[in-house]
Amino acid sequence: MFAMKLTLILLGALLYLVGTIGWYGWIWLDLLDTGTTEALLYAFAGTCAWLLVSFGLSIHVIKTARPTVGGR
């Protein structure tokens, strides 16, 4: 069971890292260099979505590391 959890954690971390690098690479190379209003709105919306995913992931990690804190 430990190997399964470790595999899922490592896979999730890898997917998050690839998504982060891909998103920022796409923003800097394509969206922000284009300079149109539509491209800037896509960059803003994508960055907001990335921040929400990052926040949710951090809350999930905290809750799984300390499951008894706050909700007895």
pLDDT (tens digit, 9 = 90+) per residue, 43-65?
888 889 989 988 988 888 778 77
Does some domain include residue 34?
yes
In a domain, 27, yes or no: yes
Q: Per the domain annotation, does 2 fall within a domain?
A: no
**How many domains is the chain built from?**
1
**pLDDT tops 70 at residue 20:** yes
DSSP state, 66? S
- Other C-beta atoms closer than 10 Å to the C-beta of 31 total 20
Identify the domain containing residue 49 by its residue range.
18-65
In this prediction, residues 10-30 reach a mean pLDDT of 85
Q: Is residue 55 part of a domain?
A: yes
